[in-house]
Amino acid sequence: MKKDTKQEIIETAFKLFHEQGYANVSVRNIADELNISVGNLTYHFKKKEDLIEAVIIDQYENFQVPATPTTISELNDFFLLGVSHQKQEDYFFAHYGELASISPKVYEVQVAAIQKRKQKLQVAFQNLQRNGDMLPEEVPGQINALIDVLNMIKIYWTPNQEAFTNAKESPFDCLWSLIYPRLTAKGKATFQEDIQTRNIA
Amino acid sequence: MKKDTKQEIIETAFKLFHEQGYANVSVRNIADELNISVGNLTYHFKKKEDLIEAVIIDQYENFQVPATPTTISELNDFFLLGVSHQKQEDYFFAHYGELASISPKVYEVQVAAIQKRKQKLQVAFQNLQRNGDMLPEEVPGQINALIDVLNMIKIYWTPNQEAFTNAKESPFDCLWSLIYPRLTAKGKATFQEDIQTRNIA
């Protein structure tokens, strides 16, 4: 543990929070796991709240933002990445609201991440409309409402799905079910040939 | 406090949990609020977990289940009721996952409520299809996936919306945005004349 103590603390805190939950991990547990003294740890992070903030800021800054989709197939890849991100960090999504209530900073980072994703999806749907894969909006605001729901699924589906659906389904079918009726005949054909076959295979 | 101590305890526990949060309310707080002894309270409910179970079972049993919608307008009423229920009990929705993790019984009641709502919406959409207001499903399973999302919105939208949408929107527009592209021309006309006007007015 020479190079970057601070970064090592963040990574260990991530691992322990993820495995055992924020409430069940003490500053001492993290110091012990790293074989450092509590004093050494609190030199970098005064209290446990600072650690959850640092963990979540670190995740946010290091998250490899996927490219903005320009086709149906790329939109599917975007969703695939989102779902795998979800699974990797499932503790942080399952306790989304709880973690936000510990620190306003955490909440700020959550909001920034969602806003970034929202903008990407807005451009993605403009791209699909330009390609002739998606119908223009009949009622203004509906595509933005759809995007809010897609983000909601990204946050809540995987950790909480058992409470509201009895099937252990992937969120894919669900995401596409919402978009499908907004596709043109060309878009629907592409979806059925390209995405449905691929997801089954 | 003569008639039904048990019921009065449940109602006071509901009120205090709702106002102050489960973690911040002790068995003693509830007894004090009722002017009874802790011993009297624990005669009815041994521990705090029993109280949250009783509160949630009570809400579930006394919830006035709305009729199954047969028209677009009735579906809108169904959503209106859902949203007002959400607001009345917002603490319990904002802490949906946390409360479930306190007691498997709470989780069971949550799942039962969602299942009941799911069945109602399945019949409602069959009714709309029969009326000629909603298109038949092109890809099997999509309407069930839509229903899962409508339930997800019912649970998570109001308490958590600020995290994923910057607008303080009612969930109505959002619910209808998902259903609208599945309506027939007749259904869309009814929606625009009947619902859109009414919700604006």
Residue A111's alpha-carbon distances to A163, B7, B97, B172, in angstroms, are 24, 41, 20, 22
Separation CA A31–CA A13 (nearest Å): 9
Q: Do B153 and A156 touch (CB under 8 A)?
A: no
Contacting residues of A for B115, CB less than 8 Å apart: 166
Report whether A44 contacts A29 (CB < 8 A): no
Contacting residues of A for B91, CB less than 8 Å apart: none
Token pair 């406090």: residue: B1
User: How does pLDDT run across B163-179, given as a tens digit for each residue?
Assistant: 666 555 678 888 999 99
Q: Which of A160, A174, A196 sits opposite B149 (nearest CB)?
A: A174
Q: Do B166 and A115 touch (CB under 8 A)?
A: yes
* d(CA B120, nearest CA chain A) in Å: 14
ipTM of the complex: 0.87
C-alpha distance across the termini of chain A, in Å = 45
Token pair 């019912």: residue: B154
**Which residue from A125, A133, A127 is spatially nearest to A188, judged by alpha carbons?**
A133
B149, B154, B182, B188, best to mutate vs chain A, most A CBs in 10 Å:
B149
CATH topology of domain A5-57: Arc Repressor Mutant, subunit A (1.10.10)
Structure tokens at A188: 């629907």
Confidence check: pLDDT of A2 > 70: no
Token pair 């009345």: residue: B88
What's the 3-state SS for B180-193?
Answer: HHHECHHHHHHHHH
Q: How confident is the model at residue A96 (pLDDT cuts 50, 70, 90)?
A: confident
pLDDT of residue B28: 97
User: How does pLDDT run across B14-36, given as a tens digit for each residue?
Assistant: 999 999 999 999 999 999 999 99
pLDDT of residue A199: 56
| Better pLDDT: B160 or B101 | B101
User: How does pLDDT run across B105-127, given as a tens digit for each residue?
Assistant: 999 999 999 999 999 999 999 99
| Better pLDDT: A44 or A168 | A44
Neighbours of A1 (CB within 10 A): 11
- Name the closest residue on chain B to residue A140, using Cα atoms: B177
Q: Which of B135, B141, B196 sits opposite A173 (nearest CB)?
A: B141
Angle at A168 between CA A167 and CA A174, to 5 degrees: 80
Q: Do A152 and B155 touch (CB under 8 A)?
A: no
Neighbours of A178 (CB within 10 A): 20
Neighbours of B193 (CB within 10 A): 11
For chain B, give every domain's residue range: 5-48, 63-200
- Radius of gyration (C-alpha) of chain A in whole angstroms: 20
Cβ within 8 Å of residue A144, ≥6 positions away? A122
* d(CA A133, nearest CA chain B) in Å: 15
C-alpha distance across the termini of chain B, in Å = 45
pLDDT of residue B75: 96
Average pLDDT rounded to a whole number, residues A183-190: 96
Confidence check: pLDDT of A58 > 60: yes
Q: Which CATH class is domain B63-200?
A: mainly alpha
Q: Do A163 and B114 touch (CB under 8 A)?
A: yes
- Name the closest residue on chain B to residue A174, using Cα atoms: B145
Q: Which CATH class is domain B5-48?
A: mainly alpha
Question: Number of CB pairs < 8 Å for A and B?
Answer: 126
